[in-house]
Amino acid sequence: MKKWILTLSLLWIFVLSWCWWENNLIEYNDTFVTLVKECTDSTQALFDTFEEEGSTLDSISEWVQSCIDICKNSQDKASKMSDYDKDSSLKDAVVDLLETETEYLKKFWSTERFRNIDDLTDEDKVEYDSIVKDLYQEEEKLNAKFVSLQEVQENFAVKHWLKLE
C-alpha cells in the first residue's frame, strides 16, 4: 500500500511539474508575442492615421514619438527577460526586431521636415530621396527580421516542445 501511495504521489508531482513547466514556457513565449504586438500595433495605427485625410503634421509627429517610446519600452522589457533554460534565441530575436522597428520609425520621422514643403530645392530633394531610400532599406530589413523571428520562434518551440498556435 505504501508503494502504491508513493508511486501515485510521485506521478502526481510529475504531472504538476509538467503542467507548471508547460505553462511557464507558454507564458514566456506569449510575453514576447505581446511585446512585439504592442510595438507593431502602434506602428500600424500610426500609418493608418498618416494615410487619413486631414491628419496634421503635429498629430503625426506626436504619434511617431509615441510609437518610438512604445517600441523602446517593449525592447527594454524584452531585453530584461531572462533566457529560457539557457536559451536566449527567442529573446535575442525579439530584441533585434524591436530595435529595427525603432530605427525604422526614427528614419520615418526624419522625413517630417519635408512634409509641408510643396517645392523642394535640389539640395532638399537629394536629401529627401536619400532618406526615402534608407527608409525602404530599413523596411526590407524589418521584413527580414519578422521572417527571422518566426523561424527562431518555430525552432525554439521545437527545441522546448512547445506547440505554437
89 in any annotated domain: yes
- Per mean pLDDT, which range of 33-42, 76-85, 154-163 is the poorest? 154-163
**Per-residue confidence (pLDDT) for residue 20, from 0 to 100:** 40
Residue 164 has pLDDT above 80, yes or no: no
Rounded CA separation 72/54 (Å): 28
6 in any annotated domain: no
pLDDT digits (tens, 9 = 90+) for 69-125: 999 999 999 999 999 889 999 999 999 999 999 999 999 888 888 777 778 888 988
Rounded (to 5) percent helix, strand, coil in the chain: 80, 0, 15
**Per-residue confidence (pLDDT) for residue 137, from 0 to 100:** 94
Residue 146 has pLDDT above 50, yes or no: yes
Domain count, the chain: 1
7 in any annotated domain: no
100 in any annotated domain: yes
76 in any annotated domain: yes
- Per mean pLDDT, which range of 47-51, 53-57, 132-136, 147-151 is the poorest? 53-57
165 in any annotated domain: no
Tell me what the mean pLDDT of segment 4-30 comes to: 52
pTM score, whole prediction: 0.82
12 in any annotated domain: no
54 in any annotated domain: yes
Could you list the residue range(s) of the whole structural domain that residue 128 is in? 19-159
Residue 98: Cβ-neighbour burial (10 angstroms; 0-12, 13-18, 19+): buried
163: which residues sit within 8 A by CB, 6+ positions away?
157
